[in-house]
């Protein structure tokens, strides 16, 4: 949410950000763009005024472009981000394949729980 009541919001601090702080700031910028898309589309969905709908949808789409710009910048600043994103994409692709093969969401979740519990060693495992 905007912080219009805070007079210091948007003002540059008295020092430059560290790389770590910049990466966090870019992630916050991405989240803000997603929030803006959500707000503008909700407003577009809530009106019958076609001119207003067209303008709101156009602005929302511009925010979606900003998301892409920020994501590209984030990949440049934090190269390991690509590995995490790729891993997430791979997980969803596996779930899509399982759903398309006829498995239910509950079956897939149960298999995931079994996989995770198998990866955690217990005291008994360490005795062997």
Poorest-confidence range of 31-45, 55-69, 102-116?
102-116
Residues 55 and 27 in one domain: yes
As for how many domains the chain has, the answer is 2
> What range does the domain containing 30 cover?
16-78
d(CA 103, CA 29) in angstroms, rounded, equals: 37
Residues 71 and 53 in one domain: yes
- Is 104 within 8 Å of 98 (Cβ atoms)? no
Q: What is the pLDDT of residues 71-107, one digit of tens each?
A: 999 999 999 999 999 999 999 999 999 999 999 999 9
Residues 58 and 88 in one domain: no
Residues 88 and 42 in one domain: no
Quickly tell me which residue has 């979740």 as its tokens: 109
pLDDT average, residue stretch 2-30: 78
Q: How confident is the model at residue 30 (pLDDT cuts 50, 70, 90)?
A: very high
pLDDT of residue 14: 77
Instruction: Report which secondary-structure segment, H or E, holds 82.
Output: helix 80-100
Tell me the Ramachandran region of residue 10: left when phi exceeds 0, alpha when psi lies from -120 to 50, beta otherwise: left
């Amino acid at each position: 949410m905007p912080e219009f009541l805070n007079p210091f919001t948007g003002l540059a601090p008295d020092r430059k950000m560290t790389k770590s702080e910049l990466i966090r700031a870019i992630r916050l910028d991405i989240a803000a763009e997603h929030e803006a898309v959500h707000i503008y589309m909700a407003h577009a969905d809530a009106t019958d005024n076609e001119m207003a709908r067209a303008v709101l949808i156009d602005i929302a789409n511009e925010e979606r472009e900003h998301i892409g710009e920020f994501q590209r910048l984030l990949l440049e600043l934090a190269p390991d981000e690509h590995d995490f994103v790729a891993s997430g994409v791979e997980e969803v692709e596996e779930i899509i394949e399982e759903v398309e093969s006829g498995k239910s969401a509950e079956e897939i979740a149960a298999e995931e729980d079994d996989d995770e519990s198998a990866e955690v060693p217990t005291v008994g495992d360490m005795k062997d």
